[in-house]
Amino acid sequence: MRGTVYITPRIIGRWTCILFLVLAVLAVPVTAAGPGTMLTAGPGREYETIQAAVDAASPGSRILVYPGTYPEAVSVIKNNLYIMATGEDVVVEPPNTAGFQVLADHVTIQGFTIVGGKECAPGIKFEGSFNTFADNTIFFTDTCIGVNAIVCRDSDGGSNFNIVEGNTIEQADLGIIFVSGAPGAINRGNVIRDNTFVGISQNPIMITNGRGFLVSGNRIDEAPYGTCIAIGTESENLVIQGHHTIVGNTIGQCGHNGISLCAAPETALTHNIVTKNTIQNCGGDCLALEAGKGATLTNNQVISNSVSFSMFGSGILLEGDQEAVVRDNLILGNIVFNNHLNGISLMAGTERNRIMNNEVQTNDGVGIAIAGDDNVITGNSAHDNTMDVADLGEGNRWHNNEYTPMVGWATGWDENDAAAIIHTVDGGRTWQAQGDLSAWTGVHGNDVSAVDDQTAWVALGSDNRSDTRGAIMHTTDGGATWVAQTIPDGLAGGIKGVKGLSRSEAWAVSLGGRVLHTTNGGTTWTIVPHPTVPMSEVNRIDAIGDGEVWIADTTKSGDERYVIHTTDNGETWRQEPLPDVMPDAQTFIVSAYSTQAVWSVVRPYTDIYRTVDGGNQWLKVAQNVGGANDFDDICAASEETVWVVLNEMLTGNIFKVQVAEDGSVDVQSFRPSSFYSFEGITCMDDRIAWVAGLQFIDRFPDLPLGVIMYTIDGGEHWYSGTGPSNIKYWKVSFVGAGR
C-alpha cells in the first residue's frame, strides 16, 4: 500500500528509547520553576545550597531549607519568594557579605540562624517593599564596629511596608536599621515588632528619614553605648517626617537614651505617638524629644509610659535648640520615677505643650521642671522628689496639680539698714517680704534656717562686738507672724548664726561666742557652756541632730586652727585641728552633710577642708580655689560635693567642688551675674542650689539692691527670682536643704 510504512519491532524499540530520552530531557529543570512551585534545599534535597534554590525559583515559589550549616551569602533579586527554614538547626554562615541580601519585593526570610562576624557583614541587608523578615536568630561571633543585624539602607527611599518581626538579635553593634540618605527620600509604613535584642552595643532600633512606622512589642536588654530606639531625621531632608507609633516596647540598660525622637537642624518630625512603653535604667534621658537648630518638633504624644531609673538624665525630656519650634506636644498619663535628674523636663524654647495627669515621684532632681513658656501643666501628681516642681519660664499655666511647695526664707537688710525677711513658696521664683522689722535699724539679718513650711528661725545681729542688740525671730505659721524670742542679755554682736532642727529644737550662737540651745520651740533659750574650748568671734554654726553641732570660730590658738564640735548636745566640746593652715588663716565657715561628712573653709584664703570620719581627721582637699579672696558661705551637697560662694565686692563667684574617690578634685566656677556679690548659699544636692546676693556699693541704682538666684541643673543655667527691690539679701535657707 502506497505510503504505508511498516515498522518492525526492532525499529519500534529504537524509537521508543528516543521518545523516553526526549521526555527525560524535558523533565530536567534547566529553566526556573513555575509560579507556586515548592523547592527544597539542603543535604540530599533538590538543591544543595540555598542560592541554587533561589536561582531556580520563579516569583511565587516557596523554598524550604532543611537543617544544616550553609556557608554562603544568599542574594535574592526576584520578587515574591518565600524562603523558610524547617527546624531550628538551619544555620547560615556568610563568608564575607550579608547572610541574605534582598533587592526585591514581597520576599519572606523566616526561621534562620545567621552567624555573622566574618568580614563584619550584616545578617540581612535589603531594599524593597512588602518584605517580611521573621523569626530569625542573628548573632555575631567577632567584635564588629558598625555591623548591622538587619539593615535597610535605601539611599533613594521607597522601601515601604516591610515587616521585621519575631527576630532574636544578639551581640551586634547595631540591630534593626532603616536609613534613607538622599535628600527628600524616605521609607514608609514599615513594621518592627516583637523582636528581642540582647547585648547590642549601640542602637538596637534606628529609623532615619521615615514616615508611618510601627515599632511595637520589642524587648531590648542592654545597649551600653547607644540609644535603644532612635528615631530621627537627617539634615537637608526637608520632607516632613513622623507619624510613627512606638508602643508596648520593654527597654532596659540603654547607655544613652531609652527612646529618642530627634529632629535634625532645619527638618521636621511630627505627629508621633509614644505609648505604653516600659523604659528603665538609661544612661541618659529615658525618653527624649529633641529638635536641632531651626527644626520642628510638634504634635507628638507621649502617653501612658513607665519611665524610671535614668542614671544620669531625666525621665522625659522635651528640648529644642536655637530657633527650633517645639510646641503642641502632649505628655499625658505617664509614671515617671527614680530618675537621677528631673522627672519631666521642658527646656527653654519649648512652648504651648501640655503636661497632663502624670505621676512623678522620687526623682533626684525636680519632679516637673518647666523652662519653656506658655505651657499648660494640669492634673499632675508630683511628690517625694528632691524638689517637686520648678517654673522657670513665662506664662505657664498650672492647674489642679498635687505637689509639695518648695518653701524658703531669706534675710538681709533694707535700704534703711533695718533687718528684713522674705519668703517664697515656689522654689525661689517669687519672693514676698514678711514681718515688720523696721524697729531693728542698724541690725542685720545674719542667718536664717527653714525647718518646714510653717517653721523658721532668723538670727539678727551686727558685726560690732560692742553692739549687744540682737534677736532670734521665729515663725510657726509660715511667716504670717514673726516673734522676737526671749534670749539672754548682753550677747556681743547679737546673734550671728542659727540652725533649726525641728519645730521644737534649734541652736544659735552669738558673734562673741555664746552658744544657745532650745528644745521647746524657743520659749526658753539656754546658754550652753564650753569652758575648755574658747570662742571669741563666731561666724557659723551648723547642726544635724543626734547631738551633733559644729561651730566655725575665727579665734587663733597658736599655729592651730580648729573646727569646734560636740557629739552630745554640748555636754563636751572638742577642737578638731585643720591641717596645713597658713599662719594668718582663720576658721570661717562649717557645713555638715552627715555626722561623718563635714566641710569647712578658712579665710583669707580659698582653701577647702573636709572630714569623712566625723571629725577625727580633717584633710585639705582643695587649695586656692578662688584666688586671693574669702569664701563667704558654703553648703555641703554630699560627701563628695560642696557649693561655695565668694564675694568679690563688685561682683561674685560660685564654685562647685567635687572630690573623687582617688582624691582628684574637679572645680566648676559660675558667674551668673555681673551686678551682685554673693554672700549666702543653700543647696539640696549637686544639682539644685540657691544663692543670695547684694550690691555692696549700690553701683546700679536702676537694679534691685539684692537678688536670689537658683539652678536646678548643677549650675549650667541660673535663674533670678523676683522680690522686693529694696532689700540686700545675705543668707538663704530652704526646707529640706543643706541650710
681 φ, ψ (degrees, to nearest 5): -150, 145
Q: How confident is the model at residue 15 (pLDDT cuts 50, 70, 90)?
A: very low
pLDDT exceeds cutoff 70 at 693: yes
Question: Measured on CA atoms in the order 589, 590, 593, 596, is the torsion positive or negative?
Answer: positive
User: Which of 498, 447, 499, 496 is CA-nearest to residue 467?
Assistant: 496
Cα separation, 596 vs 614, whole angstroms: 4
CB 696 within 8 A of CB 677: yes
- The conformation of residue 54, written as its DSSP 8-state character, comes to H
One domain, residues 454 and 504: no
Burial class (CB in 10 A: 0-12, 13-18, 19+), 28: exposed
The CA distances from residue 275 to 249, 285, 723, in Å, are 9, 16, 42
User: pLDDT digit string (tens) for 273-303?
Assistant: 999 999 999 999 999 999 999 999 999 999 9
One domain, residues 592 and 443: no
Q: How confident is the model at residue 712 (pLDDT cuts 50, 70, 90)?
A: very high
Burial class (CB in 10 A: 0-12, 13-18, 19+), 37: middle
One domain, residues 561 and 706: yes
Residue 553 lies in a domain: yes
One domain, residues 449 and 546: no
Q: Which of 124, 144, 164 is the last residue of a domain?
A: 144
Task: Say which range, 147-151, 269-273, 399-403, has the weakest mean pLDDT.
Answer: 147-151
pLDDT at 26: 34
pLDDT exceeds cutoff 80 at 556: no
Q: Which grid coordinates belong to 696?
A: 555692696
User: pLDDT digit string (tens) for 293-331?
Assistant: 999 999 999 999 999 999 999 999 999 999 999 999 999
One domain, residues 606 and 672: yes
Q: How many CB atoms lie within 10 A of CB 384?
A: 13
- The conformation of residue 17, written as its DSSP 8-state character, comes to H
Q: Which grid coordinates belong to 645?
A: 560662694
The CATH number of whichever domain residue 23 belongs to comes to 2.160.20.10
- Please report which helix (H) or strand (E) contains residue 507, including its range: strand 506-510
Residue 739 lies in a domain: no
Question: Measured on CA atoms in the order 425, 431, 435, 437, is the torsion positive or negative?
Answer: positive
pLDDT exceeds cutoff 70 at 31: no
Q: Which grid coordinates belong to 161?
A: 511596608
Q: Mean pLDDT over all residues of the chain?
A: 90
Residue 156 lies in a domain: no
- The conformation of residue 373, written as its DSSP 8-state character, comes to B
CB 538 within 8 A of CB 492: no
pLDDT exceeds cutoff 70 at 494: yes
User: Which of 237, 243, 274 is CA-nearest to residue 258?
Assistant: 274
For range 594-599, the mean pLDDT: 97
pLDDT exceeds cutoff 70 at 513: yes
Displacement of CA 586 from its chain's centroid (Å): 40
Q: Which grid coordinates belong to 276?
A: 505604653
Q: How many CB atoms lie within 10 A of CB 117?
A: 17
- Give me the residue label for grid cell 596645713: 580
Question: Measured on CA atoms in the order 204, 85, 66, 61, is the torsion positive or negative?
Answer: negative
CB within 8 Å of 544: residues ≥ 6 apart: 501, 592, 594, 595
pLDDT exceeds cutoff 60 at 19: no
pLDDT at 579: 94
For range 663-692, the mean pLDDT: 94
Task: Say which range, 174-183, 188-197, 574-583, has the weakest mean pLDDT.
Answer: 174-183
Displacement of CA 725 from its chain's centroid (Å): 35
The one-letter code for the residue type at 317 is L
- Give me the residue label for grid cell 541690725: 443
One domain, residues 603 and 713: yes
- Give me the residue label for grid cell 534547566: 30
One domain, residues 540 and 619: yes
Residue 611 lies in a domain: yes
One domain, residues 461 and 563: no
pLDDT exceeds cutoff 60 at 7: no
The SS3 assignment for 10 reads helix
Q: How confident is the model at residue 32 (pLDDT cuts 50, 70, 90)?
A: low
pLDDT exceeds cutoff 80 at 558: no
- Print the domain residue range for 438: 405-493
pLDDT exceeds cutoff 80 at 145: no
One domain, residues 545 and 431: no
For range 430-435, the mean pLDDT: 95
Cα separation, 21 vs 262, whole angstroms: 67
CB within 8 Å of 109: residues ≥ 6 apart: 76, 83, 100, 102, 124, 131, 132, 133, 134, 136
For range 353-372, the mean pLDDT: 96
For range 179-192, the mean pLDDT: 88
One domain, residues 115 and 4: yes
Q: Which grid coordinates belong to 136?
A: 530569625
One domain, residues 549 and 681: yes
Residue 262 lies in a domain: no
pLDDT exceeds cutoff 90 at 232: yes
One domain, residues 642 and 675: yes
- The conformation of residue 50, written as its DSSP 8-state character, comes to H
The one-letter code for the residue type at 654 is I
Q: Which of 459, 493, 527 is the last residue of a domain?
A: 493
pLDDT exceeds cutoff 80 at 133: yes
Residue 369 lies in a domain: no
Q: How confident is the model at residue 605 (pLDDT cuts 50, 70, 90)?
A: confident
Instruction: State the Cα angle at 732 between 614 and 444, rounded to 5°.
Output: 110
pLDDT at 2: 33
pLDDT exceeds cutoff 50 at 483: yes
Q: Which of 121, 144, 167 is the last residue of a domain?
A: 144
pLDDT at 146: 67
31 φ, ψ (degrees, to nearest 5): -120, 170
Residue 508 lies in a domain: yes
For range 606-621, the mean pLDDT: 95
The CATH number of whichever domain residue 646 belongs to comes to 2.130.10.10
Number of domains forming the structure of the chain: 3
Residue 604, preceding peptide bond in cis (omega within 30° of 0):
yes
Q: How confident is the model at residue 117 (pLDDT cuts 50, 70, 90)?
A: low
Residue 499 lies in a domain: yes
For range 126-134, the mean pLDDT: 97
pLDDT exceeds cutoff 50 at 5: no
CB 390 within 8 A of CB 717: no
pLDDT exceeds cutoff 90 at 212: yes
- Cα of first residue to Cα of last residue in the chain, in angstroms, is 131
CB within 8 Å of 1: residues ≥ 6 apart: none
Task: Return the exposure string of 556-572: e unless at least 16 CB atoms fall within 10 Å of the residue's CB, then b.
Answer: beeeebbbbbbbebbee
Cα separation, 309 vs 338, whole angstroms: 5
pTM, rounded to two decimals: 0.85
